[in-house]
Structure 1
């Protein structure tokens, strides 16, 4: 059944060899099966599968042992052709495949921050070790929100990712974008003619303005926000660019609840975190990711109480990681520079919070319906999308509360009440 993934016998053999490294035992593949994980999916921009391989290991003429290998596979979606074309046009799968075949293995030599890829085929399929077997899982039934103990582990994983950038650059004596030219070029928010996300962003602006017009009682405020918010959202095109002021790192770029996995102690306390999904990675300062993670997984009230602590926790985690590599953090990023850059990138986090959350916070039944077929996906745009969003806004208290909080955070961050 592995041909469901277009895997040849040679592909499967290479997968097993990569999985078993550094074990050099001889083996034969006895069987392979594929299970589609659509009903268990935590993301919608890819097809997910479980690949199981039964292998007969041979360490000698008589020492033969069967071993079952279970792997997680991420592939370009096929059920919705327009979605596949969209992902190809924005080079999402291409970027992630190239990162996992070139850069991420080098970064991972300095610290673990993501699942290990054992095989990449073209630009449309990646095979990972199944970290669920280690106990890692995405936190569910939490409304996309993380508490303090989960955020601490997520920030430690983020600090490990960022520290690997500094470590690799220190080892090689040149910037990652010089070592891997083009690999981290922006593919999410490019202001270019006919680029698919330009139209998408204008659609997002229409949605945020529709929510404001639908929910805001103060007519004068409605006019002000509808006038000012669009250009605030469009600032994302500048905010994602590599900084000329602050030190840059490999940035995850898509940090919301379902892209963070946790492993727990026997008592249920999170003890480790991994970050998944690198389709939108870029080369920007650490504060971009820090603000994105802490904004998309918390409420404004939570941040008012804990933001300063979280800043300090991330910075000290980064210091500890860099100390392992014998790098002084002050040479890379002073605490004052980090705080200053955090203030600057509050804007990108506020924008991304609405862009991502107005979709991901929809009830699962609605999301499943949207991505159930090419026809349903095609209908979720323009006025039909706005209608469905506003219906959910009216019916679902949790969704309405979060959308209002996210928009009010944008108003605060951009100082719109002062204009």
Structure 2
């Protein structure tokens, strides 16, 4: 059981036969359904996620009109025991956001594309959701449908391009709804990764930059950056707040969409064919989806989906690939407004460069640490103490990232 998160080894007491029977009766619109067999197990492996606990529920059921059927589901809820994870989750609107995304926004985005001949599916179907008496969401089980999460390696170029293609289509559908269809419901999603001010954020989000400076201060090759990093640190989070809240002093961004908001390799699941060639990807975990500049998702992809080689040597190629799909999709869905340009996108990237820097110095070291341990580690073990975070910054893989990242960032301003 070492591969599972400790808080997912024992399900909450309310997750029982009666609860699952109620879920199935509502989902199937059949009040005569009766559970025959029920198996509950951990839903994910260590490091797959942080802002919830998840369980895989396999149920066999019947009714007068159904002889016997089985279904595999993923149930997502929050921990009941006091601790670091519960403390963070109690402050956020993660479940409210994710329910709205799966129940309302994703179907609208998919319909824009399907009505124009693209039978896309962005994520799993939502079967049940509730905020009271427990915050809980039940999804179809993508693993049972042949999808898998890549945990022990970085994504390759084909896998990354598939992710960029799907998020570009998502953005295009959202852009059309917002700009020419008069559907502004996406603007209510304001709880993005860095929407809240510094005093309302967990320490691992706000203090990472300071720990980076402390960790590398005695590494000779980085000494020339120390002063510049110290000058940036006091205002970095507030500048990121402005990016997420639309308050950039030099003007609003040009390409505004509903963002997934948390694109990394544990939040994408792939299906492979019999020759092990990737054929589809699903996006999962939409707890911090938000309205904002499209570069939020682009920067997340660059810093959390790309490996070091893609980041350093193929960045522009991948950005152009994303943008080509974005524009082609706008044309396909019969967008009638003025098409954004690649220059618009790069302009937005410059305006929002502080968010990419924050990702690079806060979440990239976390990903490097997870990968160096073969993917089998609990995220909170890496971020719950200063000592653990310092070690992340001294990871040789992250030090190698810094060698490419710092000169590039300061050259670009």
Is 1:116 the equivalent of 2:120? no
Contact 2:11–2:55 (CA<8 Å) still a contact in 1? no
Flag the 1:97–1:389 CA change in 2: closer, same or farther, 3 A.
Answer: same
TM-score, normalised to structure 1's length?
0.80
Deviation at 1:400, TM superposition (A): 2.1
* Alpha-carbon distance in structure 2 between the residues aligned to 1:302 and 1:265: 24
Measured in 1, the distance between the counterparts of 2:159 and 2:378 equals 30
Q: Per-residue CA shift, 1:18-41, capped at 9, x if unaligned?
A: 2x58xx897433233311236456
Is residue 335 of structure 1 aligned with residue 346 of structure 2? no
* 2:206–2:237 CA contact under 8 A, matched in 1: no
Aligned 8 A contact 2:178 2:257 in 1: no
- SS of the aligned residue for 1:295 comes to helix
Q: Does 1:400 align with 2:404?
A: no
Aligned with residue 67 of structure 1, among 52, 69, 76: 69
Partner residue of 2:267 out of 236, 256, 259: 259
Q: 1:157 aligns with which of 158, 166, 184?
A: 166
Contact 2:46 2:379 survives alignment (8 Å):
no
CA pair 300-344 structure 1, distance change in 2 beyond 3 A: farther
Instruction: Establish whether residue 354 from structure 1 lines up as the match of residue 361 from structure 2.
Output: yes
**Cα distance in 2 for residues equivalent to 1:411 and 1:232:** 18
Q: Residue by residue, what CA displacement relative to the aligned partner does 1:333-360 show, whole Å, maximum 9, x if unpaired? A: 2333223323434442232232223333
Structure 2 spans left out of the alignment, 5+ residues: 1-9, 113-119
Q: Hey, what's the Cα distance between the residues in 2 that align with 1:366 and 1:66?
A: 38
**Inter-CA distance 338–218: structure 2 relative to 1 (3 Å threshold):** closer
Alpha-carbon offset, residue 80 of structure 1: 4.7
Aligned residues of 1:248 and 1:283 also touching (Cα < 8 A): yes
Contact kept in structure 1, 2:295 and 2:352, CA below 8 Å: yes
CA, structure 1 residues 311+287, in 2 after alignment: closer, same or farther (shift >3 Å)? same
Alpha-carbon deviations, 1:69-104, whole Å to 9, x = none? Answer: 000111112345342131121222332233333333
Give the alignment of 1:208-247 within 5 angstroms.
208-217=212-221, 219-232=223-236, 234-242=238-246, 244-247=252-255
Structure 1, unaligned stretches of length 5 or more? Answer: none
More helix by share: 1
Residue 313 of structure 1 is matched in structure 2 by 321
Whole-angstrom CA distance in 2 between matches of 1:84 and 1:16: 30
Q: What is the Cα deviation at residue 5 of structure 1?
A: 4.8
Instruction: Give the one of 106, 119, 144 matched to 1:133.
Output: 144
Pick which of 92-101 and 279-288 moved more.
92-101
TM-score by length of 2: 0.81
Structure 1 equivalent of residue 389 of structure 2:
389
**Structure 1 residues 162, 25: CA separation in 2 closer, same or farther (over 3 Å shift)?**
farther
Q: Helix, strand or coil for the counterpart of 1:109?
A: helix
Q: CA deviation at 1:289?
A: 0.8
Change (3 A) 1:9 1:322: farther
| Residue aligning to 1:380 | 384
Q: CA deviation at 1:50?
A: 0.4
Report 1:176-195 matches (<5 A): 176-177=185-186, 182=188, 184-190=189-195, 192=197, 194-195=199-200
> Which of residues 36, 44, 51 in structure 1 aligns to 2:42?
36
CA distance in 1, matches of 2:276, 2:82: 38
Distance 1:299 1:343 in 2: 22
Cα separation, partners in 2 of 1:278 and 1:166, compared to 1, 3 Å: same
Greater Cα shift, 2-11 or 238-247: 2-11
2:7 matched residue in structure 1: none
Number of aligned residue pairs: give it: 389
CA contact (8 A) 2:78 2:135 kept: yes
> Distance between the aligned counterparts of 1:255 and 1:138, measured in 2?
13
CA distance in 2, matches of 1:221, 1:3: 49
Cα distance in 2 for partners of 1:218, 1:165 equals: 42
The structure showing larger relative contact order (alpha-carbon pairs under 8 Å, at least 6 residues apart) is 2
Matched residue SS, 2:217: helix
- CA deviation digits over 1:221-245, x for unaligned, max 9? 4344334445345532222223733
Q: Which stretch of the first structure deviates more once superposed, 347-356 or 238-247?
A: 238-247
Partners of 2:333 and 2:224 in 1: CA distance: 55
* Aligned-partner SS, 2:90: helix
Residue 254 of structure 1, CA deviation:
1.1
